A and B are shown apart, each in its own frame.
Chain A
Amino acid sequence: MNRPYNSMEPRVMDEDMLKLAVGEQGPRDEARQLARQEGILFKDVLSLRLDFQNILRIDGLWQFENLRKLQLDNNIIEKIEGLEHLVHLVWLDLSFNNIEAIEGLDTLVNLEDLSLFNNRISKIDSLDGLVKLQVLSLGNNNISHMMNIIYLRQFKDLRTLSLSGNPIAEAEDYKMFICAYLPDLVYLDFRRIDDHMKELAEIKYQYAIDELKQREHLIQVRLEEEQARREELEEHKAAFVEHLNGSFLFDSMYAEDTEGNKLAHLPGVSELLQAYKDKFVIICLNIFEYGLKQQEKRKVELDTFKECVQEAIQENQEQGKHRIAKFEEKHLLNLNAIRDESELSSFEMKIAEYSQDVSELFNVLMTLEMQLVEQLEETINMFERNITDLVALFIENVQSLMAQCRDLENHHHEKLLEIAINTLEKILKGELDEDLPEDARALFVDKDTIVNAVGTSHDLHLLKIDNREDELVTRTNSWCSHLVDTIHKDEITRNRRRVKEINQYIDHMQNELDNLECSEIID
């Protein structure tokens, strides 16, 4: 690292330095005049070179938000930083610096070409975000461990890699190893990998790679399964009936219910509980299936609605475009005619005619838009009515099913109470033959205690059911109102945008006309 400018003071990347660089590297010749006249905004710069500047710390680059190519080679940078905002970066050169670790590159998802040649890096990592990476130059570094290569397997587009000058490259089977583990690589250390080499490497490391592949495959499968499960849950959530396709609700009822669990040990209760559970789960499943079906219905409804609205808008746009095209055709002729006109009176007449045309166009376009607004409003109202009805029906049916659940619970409660009182009597009489756990026996002190215990359990269960029902109803309603709101809002935005567009266009036309008039008068 004996560089001639080592003696120089480290420099700071300041505004002046950047401006100078931009100015120097900006457009040439005639364009430079213009550039000087206007000045160049940093955010318009696409490519920037800052080499041999003795920079120690990267700074002040946040303004270059559209930068595609950045060269920072031959400096004394020690840490990669300050590049987070340059998300459009494709080409990054950080060679001949003093960097020790790869970092701060996670946001540069578009990066294709990265050079870290001649630095002090000892480990390849923190490159996960660079999914488009094609060229990676890591020569003359301190990479010593072969396992770093395996990390590079995740870059599917990587074609060129250089690692010469690293301790790793000294190894005997360095080339073979890389060829085997990175089969898609085309160039290694600036040389093309020949097919023969690839074959040899494949044979040599076949077992290791197969194993690796197997492992990767397993991970992949697991990820996919996870993904599928998540998606399914997401779907159920959209139908507002998640966790109802099994005994989740029932289990949750008993999860916090200590009394109920204690009472389960009473003779005859376990059978009762089992029967209760079965019935309960069946109702839950009913709700679940009904929910999915309703969701499907709502989706179809929504899709049809959107499609129809889209069609209507499309048609309206076509009409508008047609009108404008027709107008422009005429406009071109008019303009030429007006330009050629020499006589003042007929000129003015033509101008007046033209301005009439413009206002007529405006009227036509606005009428079209108003018409569409009216039509859409009607359709939207209809849709709103229908979707609200659908949701109301859904809620009503779910509620009736939930009521069945509650009935079941009440029934169960009565049965349980009966059993409990019977047991109490038996205990009091000392006729009980079965063994009861200590904590359960503790409940059978007197009638109040046992009734209270059973009652608590019952209340808890009812609460759970109510909660679930409330949740479902609130979420459904909020979804519905949100949907309707969005549709209304979207329609309003669309309308505003279209009106603005029309106005803008008409203004432009009017302006052109005014300009004509002015120029004519000046002439």
Chain B
Amino acid sequence: MEVLKEKVEEEEAAEREEAAVRAERGEKMTRPVEVRREEAPMTQEMLRDLEKKLSDIDLAIPEKPSTFTKDTIDISNLPVSYQSNTLKEEHLLQVADNFSRQYNHLCPDRVPLFLHPLNECEVPKFVSTTIRPTLMPYPELYNWDTCAQFVSDFLSMVPLPDPLKPPPYLYSSTTVLKYQKGNCFDYSTLLCSMLLGAGYDAYCVNGYASQDMCQMDLTRDVCPLTLKHQEVVQEKEKVPPKKYTIKPPRDLTSRFEQEQETKKQEETKAEEQRRLREEEEHLLDVEKAKTDPLHGLRVHSWVLVLSGKREVPESFFIDSLTARSYSNQDDHFLGIESLWNHKNYWVNMQDCWNCCKDLVFDLGDPVRWEYLLLGAEKSHLSLTEEEEDALNDDYDVENLGKEDEDKSFDMPSSWVEQIEISPEAFETRCPNGKKVIQYKRAKLEKWAPYLNSNGLVCCLTTYEDLECTETLEIKEWFQNREDMLELKHINKRTGLNIDYFKPGHPQALRMHSYKSMQPEMDRVMEFYDRARVDGLVKREETPKTMTEYYRGRADFLSYRHVNFGDRVKKLALNSAESNPRPMVKITERFDRNPEKPADEDVAERVFLILDERIQLRYHCRDDHITASKREFLRRTEVDSKGNKIVMTPDMCISFEVEPMEHTKKLLYQYEAMMKLRNEEKLSRHQAWESELEVLEILKLREEEEEEHKLTISIYDTKRNEKSKEYREAMERVMHEEHLRQMEAQLDYLAPFLAQLPPNEKMTRWQAMRVKDECLSDFKQRLIDKANLIQARFEKETQELQKKQQWYQENQVTLTAEDEDLYLSYCSQAMFRIRILEQRLNRHKELAPLKYLALEEKLYKDPRLVEFMKVFV
């Protein structure tokens, strides 16, 4: 302990100096620990009051600490390692006590170390041995984030009995998992065990943290789910201008004016920013919590992950209660007393005046971290500062020499049983499958899959205000829905609902955003276009229009826009199906068909149905800037002679980029127009079908919402009824098969063979005798059986006769009850006699057959067959 002493002396010297300096300058003390130490006694009563107040505030936490005390834990079934200490553990405890004594002696102003709290059986256990590194069999638990999330979800938090002290008890992780409750130390121990098992360099930390952190109060944190992923703007790599890139046209604008303009813009921007900042500050002020009088005193436990293993680039903290990761510089963590893993225990000798920001996590450095056991972790020594390195080596050598005798032993293996999580528990996750987390302006609810009948697994409610009264929007996540609904997004302010679907909806729906389920309202439907025959990607509707977007169609249609007119009023019927709205205009756009020349490939066609006008616009040629156009006007007129005019030149106005001869012909135009009219009919029909489809989808959606069936994977053996039945049937069949085999194995020859001298080959004579004996034995058995039945039968008959005699003699004196008794006896006896008679008859019939069957079997018996052959 000389090292320690020296250090302490140094520290004390430094402190004294510091104190002197401080006294000179009259500065306030900035070390939270020190502040606590000196101020605490003065405000004892205040503290108590505050504690009371705080406990009042903490009403939101449903589980009271008392519910998870030792009384509720059944310790009778715990293994021996839980209930007693081994010799090695005893030794370790002694070492720890020794260490603690020296430490207290050297650093009297620091709180006692958290070394060996009692476990559930009231046995003191060293904290390191409570960690049981375990790799979970679930691939989801291989990474730290999912692991932490699981621990945070799986357990429910119980506050520390005394928020200013480490708990007196530290239960095993198995117990914690069983009851799904624990304080922050239990959380950290479990998480640390799992992380160590997964190969991380993880440590449990005993330290001080902010109030929010200790009470798992997330109401001042923004929910991670509400954070929008900021789209990383990929900066386009500027292509270096090629050698022959043309020079831009000369810029003729005034540079001075430009400058003035930019200046003005910058000014306005700055103004805007200032305003924004002010607003933000204002908001922050409102939101800022009242200062915590116990700031810096609250004990908390979390997990430290050091860089190096599992490709962790930088050390970080994980708050095991909330499963969030923080950098080592975070403001929430106010100080560290000690930390430990399954191998060793380190005490922090660094100053925590600036929270954890200045701490160096180089555990091999004995000046900063005092270790309990020698020999385990030395590789951490940072090799950058060579001088110090050499110095430390010296110390190490000294230490080795002096403390080798009593301290050079490994940490005993953990007393905790293997940590196990059943698949059911893993799936259910949260205690009772439900968990609610309150965030700033948001509430997150989680459920286990299949817990809710509509498949709801997660619900995030966002509020407008801090008090969570005005709902802003609701997001609901679903799982295992038969209609493949994945996420429902309800915006309360605009009333807009958006449903998102996974691939597999019967109508290939991908997204449906609507305000009401009534048809002919504003709505957008997106589809998985690959799953649809018509390649529909999106359909947008407003009360008067419908727009459809297509992709990958053989006819290159990419867009159709339909304008509807007012519905013609009809009496009685007014539903959309019976009385479709008249279409006023249909606009269709096509992609370029590479097989056609551009002048014949229509890019856009507009059917103005009321005007009987059709407008065509063709695609633009590659090296042109103008595109051909054509407009057909259909008028049926009659000429002076009364003949119908089929086509006149003014019925088709066209502009052609390169005038061609054949397109000028009336015949060509006539044919084109006829074709277009057919296509118009087709388009109208398709638009009408689209309308119908919308109705159908809406109906289907309503049905699905009502039914909300859940699918069960065929691999889910627990829930899938069919597979369960099948499996049970299989098992039954197997069982029956087994029984039958057992029966078949009954050996009728065994008793007779046993009589023969062992290990000798049977002679023919012996074989014959065995056979005969077996047969005669069987015959005897059959006869015995027959006799037995006969005897019973006779006995029964006699008894009946006796009874009848008795009845006839006493018939007069009998009471009604006795008579009833007699009658019932008679009928029963008669029944028995009849049964016995039947059995006897049956036996008589079957006996010879059975005998013959046995004889046959014996002839065929493999052990006797060779001897029998001769006689056959």
Contact = CB atoms under 8 A, between A and B. Distances in A.
Contacts of B242: 304, 307-308
Contact of A371 (B243, B249, B620): B249
Interface residues of A, number: 40
Contact of A321 (B243, B625, B646, B670): B625
Contacts, number: 78
Contacts of A502: 625-626
A383 interface: yes
Contacts of A309: 244, 246
Contacts of A379: 244, 246
B670 A31 contact: yes
Contacts of A415: none
B727 to A, nearest CB: 43
Contacts of B245: 308, 311-312
B624 interface: yes
Given A38-B665, A504-B657, A508-B655, A324 B625 contact: yes
A307 B241 CA distance: 12
Nearest to B665: A38
Interface string A22-44: 00000100110111011011001
Interface string B230-255: 00000000000011111101000000
A375 B646 CA distance: 52
Given A365-B625, A497-B623, A383 B244 contact: yes
Q: How large is the interface on B (under 10, 10 to 19, 20 to 34, 35 or more residues)?
A: 20 to 34
A299 interface: no
A504 B657 CA distance: 8
Interface in B100-127: none
B789 interface: no
Contact of A501 (B246, B249, B626, B666): B626
A383 B243 CA distance: 9
B75 interface: no
A324 B626 contact: yes
B647 interface: yes
Given A31-B667, A501-B624, A501-B625, A44 B662 contact: yes
B244 A30 contact: no
Contact of B667 (A38, A305, A378, A504): A38
Nearest to A35: B667
B38 interface: no
Nearest to A375: B246
A376 interface: yes
A31 B668 CA distance: 9
Nearest to A40: B667
Nearest to B662: A44
Would you call the interface of chain A mostly helix, strand, loop, or mixed? helix
Interface in B613-657: 620, 623-626, 644, 646-647, 655, 657
A518 to B, nearest CB: 12
Contacts of B2: none
Nearest to B622: A317
B623 A494 contact: yes
A309 B247 CA distance: 11
B861 to A, nearest CB: 53
B671 A31 contact: yes
A38 B671 CA distance: 14
Contacts of A463: none
B249 A375 contact: yes
A502 B624 CA distance: 9
Contact of B666 (A38, A44, A497): A38
A498 B620 CA distance: 13
Nearest to A505: B626
B667 A27 contact: yes
Contacts of B665: 38, 44
Given A34-B647, A324-B626, A365-B625, A308 B243 contact: yes
Contacts of A317: 623-625
Nearest to B243: A304
A382 interface: yes
Given A34-B646, A38-B667, A320 B247 contact: no
B802 to A, nearest CB: 89
Contacts of A41: 662
Interface string A491-523: 000100110011011001000000000000000
Interface in A311-338: 311-313, 317, 320-321, 324
Contacts of B666: 34, 37-38
B499 to A, nearest CB: 36
A324 B620 CA distance: 12
A31 B662 CA distance: 15
B75 to A, nearest CB: 77
A287 B58 CA distance: 92
Interface string B653-678: 00101000010011100110010000
Contacts of B647: 34
B308 to A, nearest CB: 50
Contacts of A508: 655
Nearest to A315: B246
A34 to B, nearest CB: 5
Contacts of A33: 646
A321 B421 CA distance: 67
A454 B655 CA distance: 79
Nearest to A376: B246
A232 B666 CA distance: 55
B246 A312 contact: yes
Contact of A27 (B243, B620, B626, B671): B671
A321 B244 contact: no
Contacts of B655: 505, 508
Contacts of A305: 243-244
Contacts of B670: 30-31, 34
Interface string B350-378: 00000000000000000000000000000
Of the candidates B242, B243, B620, the one having the most CB atoms from chain A within 10 angstroms of its own CB is B243
Contacts of A34: 646-647, 666-667, 670
A338 to B, nearest CB: 16
Nearest to B664: A38
Nearest to B655: A508
Contacts of A504: 626, 657
B598 to A, nearest CB: 13
Contacts of B625: 317, 320-321, 324, 365, 498, 501-502
A365 B620 CA distance: 16
A112 B227 CA distance: 64
Contacts of A494: 623
A378 B54 CA distance: 81
Interface in A363-384: 365, 371, 375-376, 378-379, 382-383
B646 A30 contact: yes
Interface string A287-300: 00000000000000
A507 B742 CA distance: 104
Contacts of B247: 375, 378
Contacts of A301: 243
Of the candidates A308, A365, A378, the one having the most CB atoms from chain B within 10 angstroms of its own CB is A308
A305 B243 CA distance: 8
Given A31-B671, A320-B625, A376-B246, 20 more contacts: A27-B667, A30-B644, A31-B646, A37-B666, A38-B666, A38-B667, A40-B667, A41-B662, A44-B662, A308-B245, A309-B244, A312-B245, A321-B625, A371-B249, A379-B244, A494-B623, A497-B623, A498-B625, A501-B625, A504-B626
Interface of B: 242-247, 249, 620, 623-626, 644, 646-647, 655, 657, 662, 665-667, 670-671, 674
30 contacts: A30-B644, A30-B646, A31-B646, A31-B671, A37-B666, A38-B665, A38-B667, A44-B662, A305-B244, A307-B242, A309-B244, A309-B246, A312-B245, A312-B246, A317-B623, A317-B624, A317-B625, A321-B625, A324-B625, A375-B247, A375-B249, A378-B247, A379-B244, A383-B244, A498-B625, A501-B624, A501-B625, A502-B625, A504-B657, A508-B655
Interchain residue pairs A-B with the least CB separation, the first 5? A320-B625, A308-B244, A375-B246, A312-B246, A30-B646
